[in-house]
Structure 1
Amino acid sequence: MMTSELFREAMSLTASGVSVITTDGPLGRAGLTVSSLCSLSMTPPSVVLCVHQDNRALPTFMEHGVFAVNVLANDQAQIANIFAGAVAEYRENRFAVGEWTTLNSASPVLQGATCSFDCELVDFKDFGSHRILIGEVIALENNTKSPLVYSERAFHRTAALAAV
């Protein structure tokens, strides 16, 4: 029989990129760590990601209607932990670490990230415990750093990739 525990264990064996999604606007800055980023469409360029419906930052993202997806580089595990709420001293000021700028929207863009996508929230759908957010990419910034990866309940650095 399928259980949430079995499913969670199987998902822990997969490898995912790690991103910090951010927003800024009338309700202030908000951000959180996700490992659920996926490209959705090339035309229009868009991404999809999932946020737990109980996450206290979710209403801020919905109200602002814009967000940035900062795909973390392999030297940014501390920022992943901070935005996951795992570092107590930064829970109230997660943006105290890192250099932050903006692209087209007011959403904070992390300097040194592997890449950052500045997005307008164009749609969402609630499913189970999560809300699926669809963002149309309005600007982006690329870097040449290798990405941070999450697998087996830990962050991992990647080396230069070799095609097989």
Structure 2
Amino acid sequence: MADSSRFREAMAHLGAAVSIVTTDGKAGRAGVTVSAVCSVTDSPATLLVCINRGSRSHAAFLENGVLCVNVLDAAHQELSGRFASRIDTDSRFDGARWRLLESGVPALEDAIAIFDCRITSTSEVGTHTVLLCAVQDVAIRPDGRGLIYFRRGYHPVGETRPSLAGAR
């Protein structure tokens, strides 16, 4: 088994998109910054999201059963840091524009993509809970740049361009 510190160092060399995952419901509103989100399948549309069990927001995700993956624009670096910090929940949400999705979950209005999800399955692995999430709806912002985390730092990716919806 690989040494955990060497594993973490190697993982720092694997660039990943940065997202803020939010929830709301009977357990209250919560949100965390994550880089562990990936597509499982497009039929049915399913995402895998990993949440640290040590996060004070962890229980809210499980109890609420719904979440939104907000894929961050390069301009959201400060917001990402806020949701990764230990500040209170209300302060995390301050200073950004949010709208409620049909599921009742807050979505970042200027995220480059949002995925409105229902949690369908969970599995505990080490320090994290792996959530399989059925995607109920998506929204895409055609402009903007992505934000990735690589070698323990933020990096913008992509170029701002108009929608490619009409392109062949």
Q: TM-score, normalised by structure 2?
A: 0.89
Amino acid at match of 2:121: D
Question: For 1:78-157, what aligned pairs fall within 5 Å after superposition?
Answer: 78-85=78-85, 88=87, 92-144=90-142, 145-157=144-156
Q: Secondary structure at the match of 2:103?
A: coil
Q: Secondary structure at the match of 1:93?
A: helix
Q: Is the 8 A contact 1:51 1:131 kept in 2?
A: yes
d(CA) in 2 for partners of 1:96, 1:132: 28
Task: In structure 1, list runs of 5 or more residues that go unmatched.
Answer: none
d(CA) in 1 for partners of 2:135, 2:106: 14
Amino acid at match of 2:150: S
The residue number in structure 1 matching 2:6 is 6
Q: Secondary structure at the match of 2:159?
A: coil
d(CA) in 1 for partners of 2:107, 2:126: 30
Q: Are 2:44 and 1:60 equivalent residues in the alignment?
A: no
What is the RMSD computed on CA atoms of the aligned residues? 1.6
Range moving further from structure 2, 75-84 or 102-111: 102-111
CA 25–112 in structure 1, closer or farther in 2 if over 3 Å, else same: same
d(CA) in 2 for partners of 1:85, 1:109: 19
Amino acid at match of 2:76: Q
Q: Is the 8 A contact 1:16 1:35 kept in 2?
A: yes
Q: Secondary structure at the match of 2:111?
A: coil
1:39, distance to aligned residue in structure 2 (A): 0.4
Runs of 4+ in 1 over 4 A off after TM superposition: none
Amino acid at match of 1:82: R
The residue number in structure 2 matching 1:72 is 72
Amino acid at match of 1:100: W
Q: Is the 8 A contact 1:104 1:139 kept in 2?
A: no
1:14, distance to aligned residue in structure 2 (A): 1.1
The residue number in structure 2 matching 1:41 is 41
Q: Is the 8 A contact 1:65 1:121 kept in 2?
A: yes
d(CA) in 1 for partners of 2:138, 2:102: 9
d(CA) in 2 for partners of 1:62, 1:159: 34
Aligned length: 159
d(CA) in 1 for partners of 2:29, 2:127: 24
Q: Are 2:159 and 1:160 equivalent residues in the alignment?
A: yes
The residue number in structure 1 matching 2:50 is 50
1:74, distance to aligned residue in structure 2 (A): 0.7
